[in-house]
């Protein structure tokens, strides 16, 4: 059996890998089960079984860059989960932004009301995170350098520059201006929806590198 001192040693080791709380608890259970099995089957002590288990998990717990747009390092198993959340956030933002952009063709004031709504939701989530201590001021200052925000800025600059160059050179000016404004508004919605999802996940204590 693993005693409380040995269990705390496992927790300290997993904590050093900067795992999110939920993932830490899950992996801790696996560690304790594997260590207990090794101690019984091979009749060895805790330290030897613990070392063997750490070696078995070496690849999954290796510290790697969280994202190509981030210098932060997290465990490889955590990166897999974080990247999956990033993909879900991006897909949700793309689908919703195109659906909401359709409102522009039915009402010229739709974008203004939508813009106000998105800002209100963003401010509301920020206040909730601050009041309930889900996010610190330090994390908020880091928000502008979040991998998804940096990626959106980079992609947005390329897309908008390419669209502006192509349509202003090869189409009528009025058509180009209209298309550019639609692209900019759609990308604005996409960026806001991305930020809202990041803040929402932060409020739920889900690791999205905030």
- What is the pTM assigned to this prediction? 0.84
**What's the whole-number mean pLDDT along residues 95-120?**
88
Q: Using one digit for the tens of pLDDT, what is the confidence trace for 40-89?
A: 999 999 999 999 999 999 999 999 999 999 989 999 999 999 999 999 99
Q: What percent of the chain has pLDDT over 90?
A: 60
**What's the whole-number mean pLDDT along residues 193-207?**
92
29 token code pair: 């259970």
Gap between the Cα atoms of 11 and 203, Å rounded: 24
Gap between the Cα atoms of 132 and 137, Å rounded: 13
| pLDDT in the model for residue 173 | 47
Gap between the Cα atoms of 199 and 76, Å rounded: 23
The H helix count followed by the E strand count for the chain is: 8, 2
Gap between the Cα atoms of 193 and 65, Å rounded: 25
The string of DSSP codes covering 172-186 is -HHHHHHHHHHHHHH
Do you know the residue count of the chain?
A: 210
Handedness of CA 174, 114, 145, 93 (dihedral sign): negative
| pLDDT in the model for residue 178 | 46
Gap between the Cα atoms of 196 and 190, Å rounded: 10
99-102: list long-range contacts, CB under 8 Å, 24+ apart: 100/189, 101/182, 101/185, 101/186, 101/189
**What's the whole-number mean pLDDT along residues 118-131?**
94
Could you tell me which of 20, 8, 7, 19 has the C-alpha nearest to residue 62?
A: 19
């Amino acid at each position: 059996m693993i005693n409380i001192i040995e269990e705390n040693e496992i927790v300290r080791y997993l904590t050093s890998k900067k795992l999110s709380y939920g993932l830490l608890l899950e992996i801790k259970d696996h560690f304790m089960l594997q260590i207990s099995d090794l101690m019984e089957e091979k009749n060895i002590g805790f330290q030897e079984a613990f070392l063997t288990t750490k070696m078995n998990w070496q690849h999954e717990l290796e510290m790697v860059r969280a994202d190509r747009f981030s210098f932060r390092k997290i465990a490889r198993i955590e990166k897999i989960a974080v990247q999956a959340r990033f993909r879900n956030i991006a897909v949700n933002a793309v689908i919703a932004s195109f659906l909401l952009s359709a409102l522009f063709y039915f009402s010229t004031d739709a974008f203004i009301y939508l813009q106000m709504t998105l800002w209100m939701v963003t401010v509301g989530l920020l206040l909730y995170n601050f009041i309930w201590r889900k996010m610190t001021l330090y994390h908020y200052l880091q928000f502008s350098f979040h991998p998804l925000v940096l990626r959106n800025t980079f992609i947005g600059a390329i897309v908008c520059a390419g669209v502006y160059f192509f349509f202003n050179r090869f189409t009528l000016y009025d058509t180009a201006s209209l298309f550019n404004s639609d692209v900019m508004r759609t990308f604005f919605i996409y960026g806001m929806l991305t930020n809202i999802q990041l803040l929402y996940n932060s409020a739920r204590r889900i690791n999205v590198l905030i």
